[in-house]
Amino acid sequence: MTDPLPYLSGPALLAFGVYRWTVLRGTRPDSAQRHTHRFAFCLGAALLVLAPATARAVESAITLPGLPMLLGDLLRTLAVCCLGLLAARSPRRQALAAGLTLLALAVLFVSARLHHSAGELFVDTRHRPVLAGYDLLLILYPARQLTALRRALRDRSRRARPGAPRWGLRLLHAATLLGLAWTAWGLDDVRLALTTGRQSDGDDTLSMTLGLFCAALAVAGGSTAAWPRLRHWWWSYRTYRALAPLWSALHRTFPQIALPQPARRGVHFALYRRVIEIHDGLLLLRPRLPGPVRTETDTAAVIAAHIRSALSAPPRPAGSPPGRVVLAATTGTAAAAAQLAEISRSFARLPTG
């Protein structure tokens, strides 16, 4: 399980970070969105570097024992710095603390003089305290950042309004708690460094799993600003699909309702276009309807049945008052689309023949 996990989670986090960066480029996103996608990118890269197979490949290409460990730890430190910025602390102080931590990690790594022995990383007895200091710094810096973030999130969640903002803060708070547990797992590395001089090269399965869940919670919590847009996109997509039976039947009878195909515009524009085409089809259907069909008095099933009958009926004699489908008074395309979608679902359930 150790090998596949980082190669599934790492690219997923990298893809999310790149996707959010492309979406936010050219806009003015809030700080939480910026720091979240940077956190995902750094942690995704760290998980890939620390994967055992990648670590072996890097050490084969560059004969510096422990280099993948150093690169992965530096990337994780940057990821923790991004989380710390979510606590609304001074960016300048955060950058200074992160820079000093990265420099200290590099100095301690070089001073520890790691070497391979029996396929594992070791240091000499006199360098064990240096290696323990390296591992301890990897615990203290994240613990400090996560503790400050946890306090800030706890206070904010109490003041947040119900809904996505509060849920986002709660998810981020859960991520900090899991991150503290993930950080505490590094105490075993300190023990090994002091007692045996051995250093684990890469993450074990438990550490990788904790990191993955921590990242998932942080990404979900930091992306709550996008939740309303995602819900609207999903509603638009489902409504667009729901309109298909009614639109297809009207289009077969009146092919002229199809508007010119525009350049690729997305599901929201497609839904708006389909609502217009259905309205045009219902207008052309007026001479075949027996009378006005109203959503205020008739159910969606009754209206769908009238439309089905009219589609197969010839036009009424000249001089007959045309019928029409009268939708309830609504404001906006979304409400009209919702009404038509309900009628279309009922239309799809009618027997054919």
Give per-residue pLDDT as tens, 20-44.
Answer: 677 666 666 556 667 777 887 888 8
* Both structure tokens of 301: 């099933």
Mean pLDDT of the chain: 80
Residue 16 to residue 285: CA distance in whole angstroms: 47
| Other CB atoms within 10 A of residue 352 CB | 6
CA 79 to chain centre: 17
pLDDT at 291 over 80: no
pLDDT value of residue 82: 82
pLDDT at 277 over 70: yes
pLDDT in tens, 257-272: 988 877 677 888 899 9
Cβ(61)–Cβ(13) below 8 Å: no
pLDDT in tens, 40-73: 788 888 888 877 777 777 777 777 788 888 888 8
pLDDT at 16 over 80: no
pLDDT value of residue 317: 61
Residue 140 to residue 183: CA distance in whole angstroms: 8
pLDDT at 311 over 70: yes
Of 269, 277, 268, nearest to 236 by C-alpha is: 268
pLDDT value of residue 319: 56
Q: Helix, strand or coil for residue 326?
A: strand
pLDDT value of residue 237: 93
pLDDT in tens, 124-178: 889 999 999 999 999 999 898 888 888 887 877 777 777 777 887 888 788 888 8
Domain(s) of CATH 1.20.1070.10: residues in the chain: 4-222
Cβ(293)–Cβ(306) below 8 Å: yes
Question: What integer is the mean pLDDT of 308-323?
Answer: 70
pLDDT value of residue 324: 63
pLDDT value of residue 346: 92
Question: Lowest-pLDDT range, 110-119, 214-223, 244-253?
Answer: 214-223
User: Which superfamily is assigned to 4-222 in CATH?
Assistant: Rhodopsin 7-helix transmembrane proteins (1.20.1070.10)
Cβ(122)–Cβ(114) below 8 Å: yes
pTM of structure: 0.61
Residue 243 to residue 52: CA distance in whole angstroms: 50
Q: Helix, strand or coil for residue 122?
A: strand
pLDDT at 1 over 50: no
Report residue 325's pLDDT band, with 50, 70 and 90 as the boundaries.
low
